[in-house]
Each structure stands twice: as structure tokens, then as C-alpha cells.
A and B are shown apart, each in its own frame.
Chain A
Amino acid sequence: MVESFGFNRRQFGGLVAGLTASLGAGSAWAQNTRPFKLGALNSITGAGGVYGPGMLEAIKLAVKEVNDAGGAAGRKFEIFAEDDQTRADAAVLAAKKLVEITKVEAIVGIWPSAVQLAVMPITNAAGIITMNTSGAPEIDENDKLDLVWQFYGSNVIFGRAFAETVRKLGYKRPGVMAFNNATMLAQARYFQKTWEEKGDKVVDFIPYEPNQTSYRTELDRLLSKKPDIISASSYLPDLTIILKEWYQSGIPCKFIAPGWSANETLARTLGADVVDGILSVSNVPATQNPAFKHFSSAFKAATGREPETFAAASYDMVICLALALQAAGAEATPAQIASKIRTVAEQPGKKVSSFAEGRELLLKGEKIDFDGASAPLTFTPEGRSTPDFGIYEFQKDKLVLKEVIRLT
């Protein structure tokens, strides 16, 4: 008698169905665990080299946080970092490598406007998301696909914030110094425009060239006009030199500067005597938000220093992107992920301040509102975050929040 190992038709059908289901589930499982390739295009060298490494470190911390929580929609993040050298021409080739060789699905951490403007045609053509801290209004104007997201206020908003602050604090004779690049000049010009809207005049407007070892000439020219406050649209290296030379001059004058330059690193470099009384305008809730506290302690543990606002914005980019991916699903295209960014970052929704917290609520089907380390993250229709501004003052060498202003 021949024993048969054959199946009857029902058993055979069941076996085939089972095999097909397991293969399908296997491939679905394989797709769900497909890593999310994240490009980091940072200014590691060049003029932006002061901030780029910190931004990259923040991106790495955020990616670790996402991956430690199991990834977004089951997909762990993989970083592919490139240096744009703070130049549009170098950035184009770096972006092409990320887009065409590495096939990233998003590029984050872009700092200068020139780089964002130069890579935008490449990334838009590839249909991928980019996130930046660039201030040029042209980015908003040219982004027609809603794939470009600015995690920083525009030059218009910053300039207005400075002018409103100076007016609110009762100063009458502001002078303006501006680092000679598109962002700082635009910011300074909007300060001047906002100030002069009410019929007043700034005492002088002085742009200065980058990478000088002394700004004595520009400073003396401005101080000769006897301003009661100087609005310095500056970065940390040049503000350090300007304040040192101002202090050496012995001429009394207040300063107001952006938070990325008037920060604790400045205080450590120059000392309490120099920085005491200087005003700093920053995104808030820079120090009040749980996301900032959590990010800041991780950043300090990794680097030994406090993060500046661009690093905090870079952290927010990754967390926001991860939450949007979680909401959109593992198979979502970049455009579909981008469409969820406002959903996870704005009201209505339960406030969350970390990826794990947000993911847990999303898995339960609840709405969330991620408040980031750099700002509450409310986006304009053009994809720009409009922060609240905190006015801080150095009391000795410590920054103390004086008040918050909100601009619309």
C-alpha cells in the first residue's frame, strides 16, 4: 500500500493560503522595518561652522530618541550627514548625493538661506521634505509644494520683534549694526523699517564685513552718534569682538542682540562685567518648555555645553518629522508625511514634549500638539514656524527672562 503524503484540496488550499499570508506578512513586516533615510545637510565648515556641528549633534540626539522608542511607524531613522560648507555650490552637490545616491526621504538641519534656495529645486523635484532655520522670505515665496519647512522666524518677524522690544523698554535713539549677509541685513532693515514706521529715526545703520579681527571703526562711527541702545544683528564670533571693543571704549550704551549670539557662551568668554545688562531676544519657551529641558540636558551631556537655538530647532525638526511619519503611516510618501506636520504640531491636541509621549497618544488614536524645544511650532501657510519671543537680560552672567512678546 502506498502511503500518501498528499493533501486533500481543502488542506492544500489552506497550506497555500497560509504560505501566501506568511510571505505577505513577511514582506509587509520587512517594509515596515525599512529604515527611514534622513539626510542632514549642515554647515560644518564655512561661516555657519559656528552652529552646524551643534545642529548635527542635536539631530543625532533626536534620532536616538526616536529609535530608542522603537522608531516612527516601526521605521528606525538612519542619518546620512553632509557638509554644505555654507555655500550654495557645494550644497548642490551634497544634496544631489543625498537625493540620488543615498535616496533620503527628508533633509533637515539646513542653516543658511542660500543653501536652502539652491537645493530647493533639487529636493522639490525629488518630492522630499526639507527643514531649515533660514530666514529669507524668498523661501516662503518659492515653496509651492509645501515640502519646505522653516523652523525659525523670518527676518521680518525678528526685525519687528527687536524694534517692538526696544520701543517697549523706552529707548529713544537706537543705532543698528548688522553682519553683512542676507539674513542679518534683512533683519536689521526690518528693525529700521518697524522703528521708523512711527516717525522716529535710527541714529545710524552700519553693516560690517564678516571675519574681521576688529570692528572698532564701525563701532566708533556708531557710538559717535550717541545711541542709547545698539541693535546688533550678529553672530557669536563678531558680537564677541564688538562687545569687547565697546567695553574697552568706556562709552555707556546698551545692546540688544539675538539669542544665538547673546548667550551663555558669550558670557563665559567675555565675563559678567561686559555682558551685564545686555538684552537678548530668543524664541520661547526656550527655557520653560519640558522639551527644551529634556533636550538641553541630553545636549549638555553629549557636548559639555548649552545648546543654542539653532540646535534646538534641529532637534524639533526630527521629532516633528518622526511624529508626522507616525501619524501618516509606514508606507506614506514624503508629501503625505509633510501633510501631517501641522496635525502633530498644532492644536487641537494634547500637549506633548517628546517623541515617545506623542507616539503613545497617536497609537491610541488621540490628537497631539508637539511643543518643541525651540518654539511651540505653529506654522504659517508657507510652512514657517512663528515663535513667541522672550526678552532676556544678562544679570551679571546669567540670562533672566524679563517678558514674552507675541507677534502676528
Chain B
Amino acid sequence: MELYVSAIAIWVLIYTLMATGLALQYGFTGLINFGVVGFVAIGAYGSGILSQHGVPVWLSIPAGAALAGLAAYPLGRVTLRLGGDYLAIVTLGFSETVRIFIIKEEWLTRGTHGMPGLPRIFEDWAGRSSGDLTLLVLLVAVNVVIFLLMRGLIRSPFGRILAAVRDNEVAAKALGKDTASFKTRALMIGSALCGLGGAFQAHYITFIGPEQYVPLMTFYVWIAIMIGGAVSIRGIVVGTVILIGFLEGSRFLRDVFGGISEVQLASVRFWLIGMALICTVLYRPQGLFGERTKGTN
């Protein structure tokens, strides 16, 4: 039982990393990034490929995150004149481009065959069950560090400019700030966090394939920050817990309500998530722990 609970907790912490990255981009900077899964994939494949070429996992994971952050740079420079819906469309196209690249460049990624047998973190010395618990502790530590860094960032002059860009970009420009540069940096940092989540996920599942990196994952992360609140660390955590709670908790519905078939449960799961999102948007658009901010895209 404890291994299953730790698996759920690991999943929550991985998605929290992704949600933190998106919150920095959207909640604090106002960037609508619909390409989250593309950066997750870059982190996963970056780390996976490096680890299969002998790079130790403790190096390949941050390297995967760094690759995801670097991949955001050209995207940022090219697209950050766009705002709102246009940026969303371009980033969605970017994530699909990443997936098609993974499929087509078989020499590098094994294409649709996927990459099985990725090394697990800690398994060499901890074994399977202890490895899970050790990973859980590591992820808690990583998330705590990230949250502390985020809090410092948001409270810093850099963070204040991001808030200004989000609330009124014209005014920020009028004060002489290079808003494109700040937005690009926010995009890169957020994407690196998404890539970090992807790298951890890859070495936890030990198999990655292009069929995992579809827009559905992007929208899961969006749901998490919309339900919890995109400008609050508490909101990010609570939103992710609620999301994973719905996704995984719904498996137990059939244990309670025996009359639900498996086919019905699949629909019920998505219905529950959809309803949670609709209710949030209608009655609490800033999320459970969010604040209404002016000029939020």
C-alpha cells in the first residue's frame, strides 16, 4: 500500500514541477504557453538519451532540464512579439513539432519504438521499493528548493518587472524595460522546470515514447494551475494534488460504486476533471488560492 501511495506522491511532485514552470510563465508573466508538453519531452528525451550513452542520471536529469530551457530561447526570441492567443497557437505547434521530430529522427530517439530500459534513480543501491521512497524524498527536496528559489525570484526586482509585464506591458516598456528579454527569460526558466519534471518522469517510468507527449499532458498542467491558482505556490501544490486526485482517485470509484463499468469509468474520469475546471472558471476564476490580478491574459 505504501508503495502505491508513494507512487502517487511521486506523480504529484513531478507534475508540481511542471505546474511551477507554467505558473511562472502564465501566472507571474502572463505568457500563455500551450506547448508545455514539448519542453517536458525535451527534458525526458534529453536525459534519456544521455543516460543511455553512459552519463550518470544525477547529471543527465539537470542536463535534460537545461536543454528544455535552452530550447525555449529561440522560441522566445521569435514569438514573444506575439501575445495572447497567437503565442498559445505557436507554442502548441512547437510541442507537436517536437513530437514529430521524436517520431522521425529514429537514429536519435528510436522513433515510435520508444526507449525502454532507462535507468531508475537510486535503484542501483536502493533496490526497487527503497528506490521509490528515496526518490520521493529527493523530489520533495527538489520541490522545496524550487519553491524557495521561485519565491526569491518573484520578490526580486526581476520578479517585479515580470509582474509589470503581465499587468501592463506598455507601461513597462515606457519605463525603458526590454520586456521581450524578460519574457524570454521567464519562458526559459519555466520551460527548464517543465523539462526537469519530464526528466524525473522518464527515469521513474523507465520507458518513454512519443505517444506519451501529446497535448493532453499540457492541459493537465493547465488544469492544475487553474484550479489551484497560478500566482500562489500553495495553489500550485493544491491544484496538482486535486488533479492527480481526480485522475487516480477515480480508479477507486468502482471499488465503492460497483455498478460502474470500466468503459463508463473512463468517461466519468474526464467528466469529473472537466466539471472541476468549468466550476473553477465560473465561480473561482482566479483558482482556489489565486488573486484576481489586473491585466492577466
Contact = CB atoms under 8 A, between A and B. Distances in A.
Contacts of B114: 88, 113-114, 117, 182
Contacts of A399: none
Nearest to A139: B116
A110 interface: no
Given A44-B262, A182-B113, A96 B207 contact: no
B201 A89 contact: yes
Contacts of B211: 47, 86-88, 114, 181
Contact of A100 (B1, B103, B263): B1
Nearest to B267: A45
A83 B262 contact: yes
B117 interface: yes
Given A86-B211, A101-B1, A142 B117 contact: yes
A88 B209 contact: yes
Contacts of B204: 92
Interface in A70-113: 81-83, 85-89, 92-94, 96-97, 100-101, 113
Interface size range of chain A in the complex: 35 or more
A134 to B, nearest CB: 12
Contacts of B128: 121, 125
A118 interface: yes
Nearest to B100: A209
A142 B266 CA distance: 31
B281 interface: no
Contacts of B254: 81
A88 B3 contact: no
A96 B7 contact: yes
A192 to B, nearest CB: 15
Contacts of B11: 93
B206 A118 contact: yes
B8 A182 contact: no
B286 to A, nearest CB: 30
B112 A182 contact: yes
Contact of A88 (B1, B111, B207, B265): B207
B256 to A, nearest CB: 14
B205 interface: yes
A94 B251 contact: yes
Interface string B93-135: 0000000000100000001111011001000000010000000
Nearest to B208: A88
A58 to B, nearest CB: 13
Given A44-B263, A114-B207, A118-B207, A142 B116 contact: yes
B263 A53 contact: yes
Contacts of B8: 93
Given A47-B211, A101-B4, A142-B117, A121 B266 contact: no
B212 interface: yes
A31 B212 CA distance: 42
Nearest to B251: A97
Contact of B248 (A86, A93, A117, A121): A93
Given A82-B251, A93-B248, A185-B112, A56 B262 contact: yes
Contacts of A97: 4, 248, 251
Nearest to B123: A121
A197 interface: no
A309 interface: no
Contact of B103 (A101, A125, A180): A180
Nearest to B217: A89
Given A96-B4, A121-B206, A136 B113 contact: yes
A42 interface: yes
A185 B114 CA distance: 12
A344 interface: no
B112 A87 contact: no
Contacts of A101: 1, 4
Given A85-B266, A88-B208, 7 more contacts: A44-B265, A56-B262, A88-B205, A96-B3, A97-B248, A121-B206, A182-B112
Across the A-B interface, the 9 shortest Cβ-Cβ residue pairs: A118-B207, A100-B4, A117-B116, A182-B112, A182-B113, A45-B266, A81-B262, A96-B7, A100-B3
5 contacts: A81-B254, A85-B266, A97-B4, A114-B114, A118-B206
